[in-house]
Structure 1
Amino acid sequence: MKIGYDAKRAFYNYSGLGNYSRSALLLLQQYYPDNEYYLYTPKIKNAIPFHCGKPFIVRQPDSFLAKKFSAFWRSLSMSSAINKDRLDIFHGLSNELPSDIENANVKSIVTIHDLIFLRFPQFFSRIDNQIYLRKFKNSCLKADKIIAVSEQTKHDIVNYFQIAPEKIVVSYQGCASQFWDTVSESKKVEVKKKYALPDTFVLNVGTIEPRKNLISLIHSLNYAKHDAKIVAIGRPVKKYMAELQQLIQRKKLEDRVIFLHNVPNEDLPAIYQTASLFAYPSFFEGFGIPIVEAMASKVPVITSKGSCFPETGGDAAIYINPNNPEEIAILTDKILEDGKLRQEMIAKGLTHVQKFSDEAVVHSLMGVYKSVMAEK
């Protein structure tokens, strides 16, 4: 098959959408190298390197106007490039398809990661909400098939966009293979020293923003018996970060919370595997990939009730009310104090995350491609 992708985020996005795009492409390269994969991107200068060799073919704007107005090319005139390459399938990896996709003689698939902007519009600007609604909904209506990264996201697509459930297939995402590998003790020592990590700490990974609810985890320190520190890794949203800093100063928790920004991906597995517990009290996610990363790293997980979390964490995680810092403290104390419980959670986590293994993820994705090609 000849399969094309909107690959801008694969080349330039370091967060969730970029990670999903790169992971999917590299797994397809590894497991299904006989296909041809066309990567459409406005540019590749200063792009993220991700071993983009055969069978990948990179396509960029080729005319002066298309190069000058690359956003226009990406959204409104990509169909001519798709037709020229005679693709079988075009897959929008990050919530959207080219606006002119109906002009392309190709089967189209879009992956929808979440509709958080509709569930929690207060976390987004009005203009962003309007742009996301138009792009996401139009892509879902035009696509031949929609991939949802969780049953929760599928439910939201049906509910908010009135899309027929049979048009949507759930195909889980996994985590980078580096999280499955056991990090050497020397690497752990090196990373622990590099970031001045304590012997015992509760890890939190994700953008530091209101929806991720790090504030409840910090509040929980006031109720906890343990003396473990919190290590929070992620890009800070300025206003929310200031709120957290004020809380920490007010509660005199300066020596209990460590913030790490711009941590390179190669250091993350060692930090995960050094952690005593992973805490993820987010209000809502489309999937919650850090939960999978933690379980693959052999770390027990506590996360929120509701949303996609029981789907991602299964019977391996312990679930908390994200609005109840005292409950978070009680369960954190219990896990940190009970070695047997920790080992049981780790074992269950390793079993549960096999459904998000590289093999499971890539075979599921290829199954979607084959089913779309089989449809008339």
Structure 2
Amino acid sequence: MKIGIDGSIFVFVGSGVANYSFNLVKNLLLIDKKNEYRIFYSSLRRPKNFYYLDELKKLGAKIYDYPFPPTLLRLWWGNCHLLPIEWFIGKVDFFFSSDFLRPPTNKRTKGITTIHDLTWKIFPQFHEDWIIKAHEKKLAKTIKYEDEIIVDSLNTKKDLIKYYPEIDNKRINVLYPGIGKEFKIVDDKERIINILKKYNISFPSPQSPIPNPFLLYVGAIEPRKNLIRSIEVFNELIKDEKFANFNFIIAGRAGWRKENIF
């Protein structure tokens, strides 16, 4: 079979959706040597991130790279719904997308898409207007084409059923993301202690090799991550003597509307 994939999201290396999409494609290429993978890629920005494509090419993927600006793709596919993906990558049996856009496909091409959450629908105040509109258009096309839908959690499946009852439940598949090899337990105690001290994570005493307990958040620092509420809850938690020595560590890049958090 020939499987098409929208890889334009790869340019946003470091973001959750980009990491999810890249690692999904990478691991499919590692374990599946029978099918052919065709990756559509389009970006004029961040050329330093294009090494993602080289890695996938070495694993056997066919790369179809076009220098289209994102605004042009949004006009073609988001607003006008013109130019099927097959014009750019040739005939495919399946096409997978996990970004804001769902390009048109030929009638015989089966669509597959990942929907990570519906926060843009349930909590629109935490999203920019253009992002909300992009998600709305993509989901409308996903419903129209009767795509198979992958969700990261049972909660997202429940949200889809609640807000979009017209979707056949059988087409919503809960597939939990895997764990990359870079995530592993570190046994080097000296290295652990040096990292903890580097970031001023407190210890019960200067002689103690074990730090105080801490909660860790890693991700973009912005309101839609529920950080403000998390901080409020943590401030209440440490009023209890049992949790008074806990730390709350927030690590990540500053995102949209970060001012209220800082």
- Counterpart amino acid of residue 88 in structure 1: D
Runs of 4+ in 1 over 4 A off after TM superposition: 65-68, 70-75
List per-residue Cα deviations over 1:101-129 (Å, max 9, x = no partner).
2x364211111111111111222244433
Structure 1: give runs of 5+ residues left out of the alignment: 246-376
Q: Which residue of 2 aligns with 1:108?
A: 111
Q: The residue matched to 1:174 in structure 2 has which SS?
A: coil
CA distance in 1, matches of 2:14, 2:141: 26
Q: Which residue of 1 aligns with 2:18?
A: 18
Q: Give the paired residue count.
A: 238
Q: The residue matched to 1:38 in structure 2 has which SS?
A: strand
1:41 and 2:59 matched: no
- Counterpart amino acid of residue 81 in structure 1: W
Q: The residue matched to 2:47 in structure 1 has which SS?
A: coil
Q: The residue matched to 2:177 in structure 1 has which SS?
A: coil
Q: Indicate if the aligned counterparts of 1:23 and 1:175 stay in contact, CA closer than 8 A.
A: no
List per-residue Cα deviations over 1:211-234 (Å, max 9, x = no partner).
423322442355132223221112
Q: Indicate if the aligned counterparts of 1:148 and 1:170 stay in contact, CA closer than 8 A.
A: yes
**Cα 1:45–1:242 shift into 2, 3 Å:** closer
Structure 2: give runs of 5+ residues left out of the alignment: 203-210
CA distance in 2, matches of 1:68, 1:112: 22
- Counterpart amino acid of residue 47 in structure 1: N
CA distance in 2, matches of 1:238, 1:106: 37
CA distance in 2, matches of 1:106, 1:160: 27
CA distance in 1, matches of 2:182, 2:60: 23
Q: The residue matched to 1:47 in structure 2 has which SS?
A: helix
Which residues of 2 match residues 186-225 of structure 1 at below 5 A?
186-198=190-202, 199-200=211-212, 201-211=214-224, 212=226, 213-220=229-236, 222-225=238-241
Identity of aligned residues (%): 26
- Counterpart amino acid of residue 196 in structure 2: K
Give 1:238 deviation, angstroms. 6.0
Give 1:31 deviation, angstroms. 1.6
Q: 1:123 aligns with which of 101, 126, 130?
A: 126
Q: The residue matched to 1:243 in structure 2 has which SS?
A: coil
**Cα 1:244–1:93 shift into 2, 3 Å:** closer
CA distance in 1, matches of 2:199, 2:77: 40
List per-residue Cα deviations over 1:155-199 (Å, max 9, x = no partner).
2222222211122222221232222x2224154345335434332
CA distance in 1, matches of 2:176, 2:134: 26
1:234 and 2:238 matched: no
Q: Indicate if the aligned counterparts of 1:96 and 1:111 stay in contact, CA closer than 8 A.
A: no
**Cα 1:146–1:242 shift into 2, 3 Å:** closer
Q: Indicate if the aligned counterparts of 1:35 and 1:55 stay in contact, CA closer than 8 A.
A: no
List per-residue Cα deviations over 1:296-322 (Å, max 9, x = no partner).
xxxxxxxxxxxxxxxxxxxxxxxxxxx
Which residues of 2 match residues 63-102 of structure 1 at below 5 A?
69=72, 71-72=74-75, 76-81=82-87, 85-94=90-99, 96-98=101-103, 100-101=104-105
**Cα 1:217–1:204 shift into 2, 3 Å:** farther
Q: Indicate if the aligned counterparts of 1:42 and 1:60 stay in contact, CA closer than 8 A.
A: yes
TM-score, normalising length: structure 2: 0.76
- Counterpart amino acid of residue 57 in structure 1: K
List per-residue Cα deviations over 1:6-49 (Å, max 9, x = no partner).
11112324221111101211211222133222111113822264
Q: Indicate if the aligned counterparts of 2:42 and 2:66 stay in contact, CA closer than 8 A.
A: yes
Q: The residue matched to 2:143 in structure 1 has which SS?
A: helix
Q: Which residue of 1 aligns with 2:5?
A: 5
- Report the structure, 1 or 2, having the larger helix content: 1
List per-residue Cα deviations over 1:230-260 (Å, max 9, x = no partner).
2111233464x44344xxxxxxxxxxxxxxx
CA distance in 2, matches of 1:217, 1:230: 11
- Counterpart amino acid of residue 93 in structure 2: D
Q: The residue matched to 2:99 in structure 1 has which SS?
A: coil
